Amino acid sequence: MFGYRLLADPRLNKGTAFTEDERSAFRLHGLLPPTVVSIDEQVTRRLQAFREFHTDLERYAFLRDLQDTNETLYYALLGRHVEELLPIVYTPTVGAGCASFSRLFRKPRGVFLSIPHRSRIREILANPQFDKTEVIVVTDGERILGLGDQGAGGMGIPIGKLALYTACGGISPATALPILLDVGTDNEENLKDPLYIGWRHKRVRGEEYDTFVAEFIAAVKERWPHVLLQWEDFAKGNATRLLDQYRDALCSFNDDIQGTAAVATGALLAAINVTGEAMQNQRIAVLGAGSAGCGIAKLLMEAMIDAGLSPQDAASRFYMVDKDGLITDGTNDLASFQRPFVQKREALTHWNLGNPSRISLLDVIYNAKPTALIGVSAQAGAFTESVVRGMARHNKRPIIFPLSNPVSCAEANPADIEIWSEGRAVIGAGSPFPPLKRNGHVFPVDQTNNSYIFPGVGLGAIATRASRITDTMFMAAAKALADMSPARSDPNANLLPRVTQLRDVAIAVAIAVGKQACAEGLTEGVTVDTVEAAVRARMWWPRYLSYVPANAEQSAA
């Protein structure tokens, strides 16, 4: 590969960092300015350009262009300035990137598999460009963050997630493949938009949808028998059932369900070091009883069982509130994943209720007196002043986690929670927020974000060639994260490590996950004693390699 072809390949391009010898060997003289610079100088130049944009969406587009031009430089920039760039590459700006995906589309990245081309799935995946694939993030674009159906624009999520697999988890970008299952969209704005790049059709559902997904999974298994597949941003009706259907068919997990559960569990395990209230004494209210909320409750329930509670007692300590109020044994149309957390109406007869036909979140706060409140509802402002003050009234240190993202969907602003709780709340947010002033000091808001979990889970699974991913592996990930909490040694410190430590977190999580996989007999070629070495050996770092032409005669031609 020579000349413009080399410069056009984002995996191989080094731009102005090509040496004099490389420029001669690969016919690059004249195609680049004469000055040879280091990757450090390139990072400085790109960071300066990034900071000169006026909006986050412009910054997002700039970084996506850099990723499609020079991947090594992109990851060097992201890795060195992760705290500043993470909110652009990932939440919250990735949501705006998905909504504007058709307008921002410039160069192809990943794979779009659409219903009209279903007969070509194997042909498309057979492209030699994808030979090294080890990890896939796939979405159908129906439930992008809290923004809903984005159709083909949902591709921004797999691209962003895999960027963090590389930046935080050390997974080589050459082995990462984002995939969008384009089954249409019910987003009328997309369907009417002349610039929309996806299949212009109402979203396909039912048997045709299931058959398409089954064909995709069969093709993936045939092409990459040991691949790790992450389900991402599927709607409530599909997320849990697809995970249950395919979790034993190939190494896969759903980050919205299991990753969110693990980071929430890890943060809550860290929070009890601050509150002093043992796990078995927690009472937890969850606003948002979909797959993500129930996934959190399920893993937290296992933590309570580990702490000594019976399954029945542990389940009774959860209060799941959905759009129709508290889920009880009188709630209609319950999903299977909601049933373990149903409250019995007869046990609530002593509650003081404003409207017995619909038990609100505020009713739960004042009657159940939960110690922790978690939000995954995508309902902006749902944690009202009355709700937060109610939590503070019943708890010396209430745990309050508004986890919905992007920022526009957060249940509360941490600054408001700080005021309403009189500075006593233990706060974790799903999106980045400005720091708080606490006791005269600047106190960063913990971003209780899946980026603390999924890169390490993926790294651990790939390094150990795990055949499947279990809930106990996610519990191991949550405990590994909790073990790294600054609050373990200082109750006045943050619950989670700084974002700048995400690589260290990923390594710790990967080792814990790998060891748990070994204990369950799910690994290949590694033992508990060799997991750490296997994990560290798989870490990719963004640095330029020296290039020498494979054929000296060609370089001279």
* Residue ranges of the binding site for a divalent metal cation: 232-233, 256
Q: Which two tokens stand for residue 95?
A: 């949501």
In angstroms, the first-to-last Cα distance of the chain is 13
| Catalytic option among 75, 90, 319, 544 | 90
Cβ–Cβ < 8 Å for 481, 263? yes
| Catalytic option among 14, 74, 75, 161 | 161
Phi, psi angle pair for 123, to nearest 5°: -65, -40
CA 548/CA 21 separation, integer angstroms: 9
Tell me the residue type at 109.
R
**291 CB-near residues (< 8 Å, 6+ apart):** 236, 239, 240, 254, 256, 257, 337
CA 130/CA 182 separation, integer angstroms: 19
Which three-class secondary structure state does DSSP give residue 458?
A: helix
Q: CA Rg, the chain, in Å? A: 24
Supply the DSSP string of 286-297, one letter for each residue. EE--SHHHHHHH
- 290: Cα within 13 Å, side-chain hemisphere: 21
For this structure, is 246 an active site residue?
A: no
CA 455/CA 255 separation, integer angstroms: 10
**530 CB-near residues (< 8 Å, 6+ apart):** none
Q: What residues are paired with 139 via a beta bridge?
A: 180
Cβ–Cβ < 8 Å for 37, 17? yes
For this structure, is 161 an active site residue?
A: yes
Q: Which two tokens stand for residue 415?
A: 């600054």
Q: Which two tokens stand for residue 437?
A: 């002033």
CA 231/CA 214 separation, integer angstroms: 14
Instruction: Calculate the CA 184 to chain-centre distance.
Output: 23
CA 302/CA 320 separation, integer angstroms: 16
**What is the strand order of the sheet 284-287 is part of?**
325-326, 318-322, 284-287, 372-375, 399-402, 426-429, 446-447
The H-or-E segment that residue 457 falls in is: helix 454-464
Closest CA to 92 of 142, 137, 144: 144
Supply the DSSP string of 109-167, one letter for each residue. -SEEEEGGGGGGHHHHHT-GGGTT--EEEEE-SSSBTTTB--GGGGGHHHHHHHHHHHH
Give CA torsion, residues 491, 497, 500, 501, to 10 deg.
Answer: 130
In the annotated binding site, the residues are 143, 232-233, 256, 405, 449
In the annotated binding site for (S)-malate, the residues are 143, 405, 449
| Pairing assessment for the beta strands 135-139 and 176-182 based on DSSP bridges | parallel
Q: What residues are paired with 152 via a beta bridge?
A: none
Indicate which residues carry an active-site annotation.
Answer: 90, 161
